[in-house]
């Protein structure tokens, strides 16, 4: 592959990973991803901004070969996670004169994780600058988006913000810039839901830090670039807001049909109540879609049978994931069926300890649902609508 021009003397040296289907051994990538690196050629010096996943080092090194630079002065590392830093050892082997430009926290992580020698680093401070001749890089610390060391780099003269994971999307595409807005919205929201959602509060502060910058291009390190930055900035502002929607997400497991029958009835009641419902079988759902649904929903229902005396393991996984993602969900209820007893309800409540939620009365039944059980589920659905109305959730 050959590098592509982003602006005058600014090049995209990214690798498109069309075939990757899992990230962090957890996150489904239905549309693959990209690892974006950028070459900034100033009149005096050249800097590479981030590298690529080590599985695709050859792509980056090939593009550097084709780039026409004899010398690489700096490698800016915005984030230490290996999908962006992992090719750094090979880049430094190829360009031994290059200094690694990053903050102290990132330096410490790179020394631990990639065994980069200390003398390679040039440690920078928040809002400090690096001159490349006629181009100026400014470093803006954005901690906890999504690691403690994360920062972004602003190319002043071209008004380009290199944001690494921030504003990224797992989308393998040959488009350099985002064109299909509905496609990019979905993949960026999936990315936000699975990686950024637990960090809503730091993201709010970090968006404030950049709101007065003139920005022509947002260049993340996953997915296409944003030539109309307002689109992704507005999407993030909505996702990180306190606003929730009149929606219920149901994550369920059913072994012999009893819990499924309960879910089916509750879904019908909720629809009759004018509530949008998103239902996920936790044994086979795309957990990325489950996470995306949690970005906006006011209410979550977890439904599980009792297995081996407790919660079904797949429902435990779902609850653990929700707890880790920390959505802005306001209300939760737990429903399910048991055969001879168990601690399913209490276990699920304990697993959601990170969330600031109002637990609505559970509906836990014995065996297959009967008339009074359906009535309890109907009451739950009506109560959810009442709670949404009381909180002006539309």
Q: Can you give the binding site for ligand FEO, defined by CB under 6 A?
A: 79, 81, 83-84, 146, 165, 222
Round to the nearest angstrom and report the end-to-end CA distance of the chain: 48
State the Rg of the chain over Cα. Answer: 24
Task: Tell me the CA distances in angstroms from 85 to 37, 92, 375, one per residue in order.
Answer: 10, 11, 56
Residue 25's Cβ-side half-sphere holds a number of Cα atoms within 13 Å equal to 0
Q: Which is nearer to ligand FEO, 19 or 390 (CB)?
A: 19
Q: Which is nearer to ligand FEO, 38 or 331 (CB)?
A: 38
Smallest separation, CB 245 to ligand FEO (Å): 28
Q: Which is nearer to ligand FEO, 169 or 246 (CB)?
A: 169
Smallest separation, CB 20 to ligand FEO (Å): 12
Residue 234, Cβ neighbours under 10 Å: how many?
Answer: 10
CB closest to ligand FEO, residue no: 81
Q: Which is nearer to ligand FEO, 79 or 328 (CB)?
A: 79
Q: Which is nearer to ligand FEO, 80 or 301 (CB)?
A: 80
Measure the CA–CA gap between 302 and 346, rounded to whole angstroms.
12
Name residue, tokens 């949008």: 276
Smallest separation, CB 394 to ligand FEO (Å): 35
Q: Which is nearer to ligand FEO, 86 or 369 (CB)?
A: 86
Task: Tell me the CA distances in angstroms from 201 to 142, 149, 211, 326, one per residue in order.
Answer: 12, 16, 16, 11
Smallest separation, CB 84 to ligand FEO (Å): 6
Smallest separation, CB 195 to ligand FEO (Å): 7
Dihedral sign for Cα 369, 375, 378, 382, please: negative
What burial class does residue 274 get, using C-beta atoms within 10 Å of its C-beta: 0-12 exposed, 13-18 middle, 19+ buried? exposed
Q: Where are the beta strands (DSSP E) in 195-294?
A: 217-220, 245-252, 276-281
Q: Which is nearer to ligand FEO, 194 or 373 (CB)?
A: 194
Smallest separation, CB 81 to ligand FEO (Å): 4
Smallest separation, CB 165 to ligand FEO (Å): 4
Residue 177: phi and psi, rounded to 5, are -110, 150
Residue 284, Cβ neighbours under 10 Å: how many?
Answer: 8
């Amino acid at each position: 592959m050959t590098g592509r021009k982003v602006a005058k003397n600014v090049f995209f040296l990214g690798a498109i990973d069309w075939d990757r289907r899992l990230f962090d051994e957890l996150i489904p990538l239905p549309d693959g991803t990209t690892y974006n690196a950028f070459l900034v050629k100033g009149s005096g010096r050249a800097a590479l901004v981030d590298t690529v996943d080590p599985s695709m080092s050859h792509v980056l090194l090939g593009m550097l070969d084709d780039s026409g630079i004899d010398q690489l002065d700096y490698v800016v590392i915005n984030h230490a996670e290996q999908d962006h830093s992992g090719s750094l050892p090979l880049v430094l082997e190829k360009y031994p004169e290059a200094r690694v430009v990053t903050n102290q926290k990132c330096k410490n992580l790179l020394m631990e994780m990639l065994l980069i020698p200390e003398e390679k680093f040039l440690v920078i401070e928040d809002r400090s600058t690096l001159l490349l001749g006629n181009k100026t890089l400014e470093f803006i610390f954005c901690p906890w988006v999504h690691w403690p060391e994360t920062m972004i780099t602003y190319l002043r003269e071209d008004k380009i913000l290199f944001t690494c994971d921030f504003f990224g999307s797992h989308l393998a595409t040959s488009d350099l810039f985002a064109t299909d807005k509905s496609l990019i919205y979905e993949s960026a929201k999936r990315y936000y839901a699975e990686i950024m959602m637990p960090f809503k509060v730091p993201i709010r502060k970090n968006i404030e830090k950049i709101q007065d910058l003139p920005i022509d291009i947002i260049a993340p390190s996953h997915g296409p670039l944003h030539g109309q930055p307002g689109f992704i900035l507005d999407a993030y502002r909505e996702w990180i807001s306190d606003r929730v929607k009149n929606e219920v997400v149901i994550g369920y497991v059913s072994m012999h049909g009893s819990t499924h029958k309960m879910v089916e009835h509750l879904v019908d009641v909720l629809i009759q109540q004018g509530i949008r419902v998103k239902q996920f079988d936790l044994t086979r759902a795309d957990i990325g879609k489950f996470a995306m649904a949690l970005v906006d929903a006011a209410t979550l229902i977890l439904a599980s049978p009792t297995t081996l005396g407790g919660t079904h393991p797949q429902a435990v996984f779902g609850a653990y994931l929700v707890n880790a993602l920390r959505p802005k969900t306001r209300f939760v209820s737990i429903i399910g069926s048991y055969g001879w007893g168990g601690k399913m309800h209490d276990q699920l409540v304990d697993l959601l300890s990170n969330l600031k939620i109002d637990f609505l009365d559970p509906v836990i039944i014995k065996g297959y649902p009967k008339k009074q059980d359906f009535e309890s589920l109907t009451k739950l659905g009506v109560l959810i609508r009442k709670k949404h109305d009381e909180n002006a959730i539309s």
